[in-house]
Amino acid sequence: MEDDAGVMVRSFQRSPLRGLGWWQTRRNFLKFLKESEGFDLIEIPEHEGFLPFHFSKFPVVVRLHLSFSFWWQQLGRSWLYRPNLQWSERQTLNHHKNWIGCSGFILKKTKEHFGIKPTLEKIIYNPVKPVVEQSLPELRQRIINTGEYVLYAGMLSVRKGALKLAEAANIFFTKHNRIKLVFAGPQEKINGHQMHDQIMACIRPEFRNRLIFLGQIPHTEVFCWLACAKVFVSPSQLEAFSIVVMEAMQAGTPVVYSTKHSGPEAIQHGYDGLLANPDSKEDIAANVLKILDCPSFAEKVAQNARTTVEKRFSVERCVDETLGFYNQAIEDWQQRRNK
């Protein structure tokens, strides 16, 4: 048990047993809950399904982000399929039907994928924490020396659109001969090859010196790079809800996001950001160029984006809506117990 900023955190170790270790881990968690007192409510995630049993001692809320079962199906990753995890996720959702979706997209797709309808449901977007900028003079000088750049931040992977963005860069590099493309984040490997090499292979030789790979950097540094970018681009194929996109909007940086998954929920195209088809390098490049070619449009979009984050994705709003849902779940649980 440890104290995390006033919140007591109890950690559980996964069972080291092979084969049925996943079952033992979940049984240990259930045993802990049955022996616990003083809880008003329990919240659990849906991914990995850690409570696939009937449990009625306290009301349970499941917060949906992105189940492994749905992720594997959407991305065609059949080689990752694990029946025990799919069973655990399905049973967790089937036994506990108070659901909070971090986006309308993920709430809808969870219902469709598992064929289960919740008793109570609500969309509550993940909040964007206000960032307290720190004085990092050496970093700021490095950013200034970089010049103008387009930024990608997150896992360098096919799913998140790193390769499509590299292909699109060949188009906007041609028109803006001083712009650079900065990648911040760890790399996915494809067939044993680092994503860095795959990205370089997508870029025309004369443009390769305009790529910068930062690797994985601290969050405070990411925010500095976000705040100074001309455009932040995230042409992802699948996201439950992207926090880094919201952080870019909060930083006052124009964003090009994705027309797929939760993109249209996060951004109103042309007002507080732009949405591009993540399958089309031409569409990604065209939307990046809309911002690079028109500074006044970029400034207006950035201003609107900050307002959107303040109104729709604040910590205060998330807390208020979550507490309201908790109270509703507790009231519903009490009524069922009293019948």
Q: Given pLDDT bands bounded at 50, 70 and 90, which one contains residue 288?
A: very high
What would the pLDDT profile of 238-259 be if each residue is shown by its tens digit? 999 999 999 999 999 999 999 9
The CB density around residue 98, as the number of other CB atoms within 10 Å, is: 23
Q: Given pLDDT bands bounded at 50, 70 and 90, which one contains residue 311?
A: very high
Distances (CA, A) of 144 to 242, 248, 289: 27, 18, 22
The identity of residue 183, as a single letter, is F
**pTM to 2 decimal places:** 0.90
Select from 260, 240, 257, 309 the least CA-distant residue to 100: 240
Q: How far apart are CA 115 and CA 128, in angstroms?
A: 31
pLDDT at 135: 63
Q: How far apart are CA 63 and CA 122, in angstroms?
A: 10
The strand pairing partners of 187, in sequence order, are 156
What would the pLDDT profile of 106-146 be if each residue is shown by its tens digit? 999 999 999 999 999 999 999 998 776 666 778 888 898 89
pLDDT at 220: 87
Dihedral Cα 108, 110, 112, 114, nearest 10 deg: -160
In the chain, where does DSSP find H-type helix?
21-35, 68-75, 83-95, 104-114, 137-146, 162-175, 195-202, 219-228, 243-250, 263-266, 281-292, 295-312, 315-338
Are the C-beta atoms of residues 249 and 305 closer than 8 Å to each other?
Answer: yes
Q: What is the mean pLDDT of residues 282-290?
A: 98
Are the C-beta atoms of residues 269 and 251 closer than 8 Å to each other?
Answer: no
Task: Compute the C-alpha angle 104/106/107, nearest 5°.
Answer: 65
Which tokens go with 156? 């360098």
Are the C-beta atoms of residues 301 and 144 closer than 8 Å to each other?
Answer: no
What would the pLDDT profile of 44-89 be if each residue is shown by its tens digit? 999 999 999 999 999 999 999 989 888 888 877 654 567 888 899 9
Which tokens go with 212? 């910068």
Q: What is the mean pLDDT of residues 97-112?
A: 96
Are the C-beta atoms of residues 217 and 184 closer than 8 Å to each other?
Answer: yes
pLDDT at 148: 96
Q: How far apart are CA 176 and CA 180, in angstroms?
A: 9
- Report CA torsion sign: 11, 16, 17, 18: positive
What would the pLDDT profile of 215-226 be if each residue is shown by its tens digit? 999 988 999 999
Q: Given pLDDT bands bounded at 50, 70 and 90, which one contains residue 16?
A: confident
Residue, of 165 and 6, whose pLDDT is higher: 165
End-to-end CA distance of the chain: 37
CA 103 to chain CA centroid, nearest Å: 10
pLDDT at 277: 98
251-261: b (≥16 Cβ within 10 Å) or e: bebbbbbbbbb
Tokens 């006052």: give the residue: 252
pLDDT cut 90: percent of the chain above it: 74
30-45: b (≥16 Cβ within 10 Å) or e: beebeeeeeeeebebb
Of the ranges 70-74, 188-192, 293-297, which is most confident?
A: 293-297
- Report CA torsion sign: 334, 337, 338, 339: positive
pLDDT at 84: 86
Write down all domains in the chain, each with its CATH number in brackets. 2-127+315-338 (3.40.50.2000), 137-312 (3.40.50.2000)
DSSP E strands: which ranges in 187-237? 189-190, 193-194, 211-215, 231-233
The strand pairing partners of 61, in sequence order, are 43
